[in-house]
Structure 1
């Protein structure tokens, strides 16, 4: 082999290696854990997956579970890259308290605040039940054996009417989707769900109309609510097409939904996803209307014992939103 031939082959090999090195990186496969279809979290996961696939160069799939109580441990273990949850359930998971007492999920991390999660009791539109106090003695969903974040919210709601869960006739269900099904089937007089969820719309269509019950906005009621669910606040809601069941102005118990990751979720994947979400609110809202409440200027805040994922922190630093504020 001549020196000239050897040199040409060497150059060709270098060029080929350069071409391989310049090839685009393979998209990461990520799982997004969410609640069952019809739930607020499942629809949220679908919207986030849309942005992950179309704008973040990731390959995302939504995986349904009974509730975040069930799947947050799987996110912590790295079985799924992300999960849809809320800041209170994330807090008790990382501190090993409440339903997670004695278990260590301290490697869960916040990735972004999603939107204000608004919850209420719903009854039939023509029901004689006009207020929370009218639920006394009625058949109301309860139990929530696989969704432990719900009972404290029930306690908070009843407290504003001077009641407790012992004042209703319980219809025990494992989760909110099952509770809505019990209502649709005529087994319950009221069900508890998040405003804007697909299941709420389904219940409205199934029974000929539903009505959300108000939590009167007073300092006394807010104090009672926070005895059971500390991060909650009372948010005004008005009748609108997305607010199915809100037939007159009301206030709803509200707290923040969050996208959750763990220390086992790649920094690059978290960074890519939160950056794409910041730039693509419209894309997410076209998939799920509640994402209209997503605020790109409010993606990060101080969450006390909950740590932020380094990949998310990197983006918020670039955005000028770090360190987070209350």
Structure 2
């Protein structure tokens, strides 16, 4: 009887211990369960960021954008893709092979409206998130080639950019005010063109195989730094009257100065033109996603500047500069919260 009574007491104690252990551990199990459900239920959002060639600014800055978004926007997995530039970026978004893209102002407008090289191929679903920084037109010539002005490119070997890239379009527009042309279907050809990317253009000058190139990028641009550090070259200024003609004919250009000392051997200011760069996206991206992406860029602006100096120009005050395509509603909401007038009409 004593043994039976003791056995009953032991069983009761075991049950009580089990109950107490269960009560104390239940909250921990429930917390893990909640986190597990949240992670499992959260859909990963893959973002392909179309940039440009690796020798410019778009690509490294696009990589910095991806890092910020992956770090601060839950569920986002972003990566930067090297491309031929704005025209290809627009086509990638049209084909839904990219969600986000960098784009030059004027060329983005051509794509949105379906004009110039996008004739008959308007992309009305193109949207903007914010303006970024200025793309400066940098014309670099090999010393000894007899080039002191763009006018001197006549008969010379010139790298205008990769075929149908935004830079190539810039070259075409700028050379046109000097009566110069390298396109066989655009009239008399009086400039010999090498349609190559930034790094290859730099190599041509360094090897003495080319006379000059035009590169469009934020200051400083990696390929221009490489050329100036490795070859005997100079950065060419545009004449005041030509700057006026360019900005009147193509109103998205504006005058800028490349400060002396920006590049090795550049001992004086260089006068040229620039266009704004835009961060573009597809209209079908969710409003809350675009809002969070835009917010993350400005909340962590210091990390972008650490990645490339060109991001210094990317401020709330400049967010609507040169906007030629409609804002995405998600971006518009964020910028409006920052006190900007987001009623931007595109004609």
Fold conserved between structures, TM > 0.5? yes
Structure 1 residue corresponding to 2:314, chosen from 276, 294, 316 = 294
Q: Is the 8 A contact 2:327 2:344 kept in 1?
A: no
Could you tell me how far apart the structure 2 residues matched to 1:142 and 1:21 are? 54
Name 1:140's counterpart in structure 2.
Answer: 158
- The Cα of 1:175 is off from its aligned counterpart by 4.1
Match of 1:158 among 175, 189, 192: 175
Aligned equivalents of 1:245 and 1:88: distance in 2? 31
- Is the CA contact 2:161–2:198 (under 8 Å) kept in the aligned structure 1? no
How far apart, in 1, do the equivalents of 2:35 and 2:303 lie? 33
Counterpart check, 1:169 vs 2:191: yes
Whole-angstrom CA distance in 2 between matches of 1:222 and 1:44: 28
Alignment match, 1:311:
330
1:270 counterpart = 2:290: yes
Whether contact under 8 Å (2:49, 2:101) holds in the other structure is yes
Aligned match of 1:50 in 42, 62, 67?
Answer: 67
Cα distance in structure 2, aligned partners of 1:302 and 1:240? 28
Q: State the distance in 1 between where 2:134 and 2:223 align.
A: 18
Do the aligned partners of residues 245 and 56 (structure 1) sit closer, same or farther apart at CA in structure 2, a change above 3 Å counting? Answer: farther
CA distance in 2, matches of 1:245, 1:221: 25
User: Is residue 84–residue 162 contact of structure 2 (8 Å, CA) maintained in 1?
Assistant: no
SS at structure 1 position matched to 2:267: coil
Q: Distance in 1 between matches of 2:265 and 2:120?
A: 39
- Which has the larger Rg? 2
How far the C-alpha of 1:18 sits from its partner, in A, is: 8.4
**Number of aligned residues:** 310
Give a deviation string over 1:282-308, Cα, whole Å, max 9, x none. 21111112212222321125735x211
- Partner residue of 2:238 out of 212, 215, 222: 215
Give the distance between the partners of 2:197 and 2:250, measured in 1 at CA: 18
1:177 Cα deviation after fit = 4.2
Question: Equivalent residues in 2 for 1:1-326 (5 A)?
Answer: 19=34, 23=38, 25=42, 28-57=45-74, 58-124=76-142, 128-142=146-160, 144-147=162-165, 149-158=166-175, 162-165=178-181, 168-194=190-216, 195-207=219-231, 209-217=232-240, 220-226=241-247, 228-241=249-262, 243=263, 246-301=266-321, 303-304=323-324, 306-324=325-343
Q: Matched residues in 2 for 1:121 and 1:238: separation?
A: 14
Q: Distance in 2 between matches of 1:205 and 1:267?
A: 45
With the length of structure 2 as denominator, give the TM-score of the two structures.
0.78
Contact 2:50-2:98 at 8 Å conserved across structures: yes
Further displaced range: 176-185 or 313-322: 176-185
How far did residue 155 of structure 1 move? 4.0
Unaligned runs of 5+ in 1: 1-7
TM-score after normalising by structure 1: 0.83
Measure the CA separation in 2 of the matches of 1:244 and 1:62.
Answer: 29
Question: In terms of mean alpha carbon deviation, does 125-134 or 90-99 score higher?
Answer: 125-134
Give unmatched runs, 5+ long, in structure 2.
1-22, 182-187
Residues 282 and 239 (structure 1 numbering): CA distance in 2 closer, same or farther, change over 3 Å?
A: farther
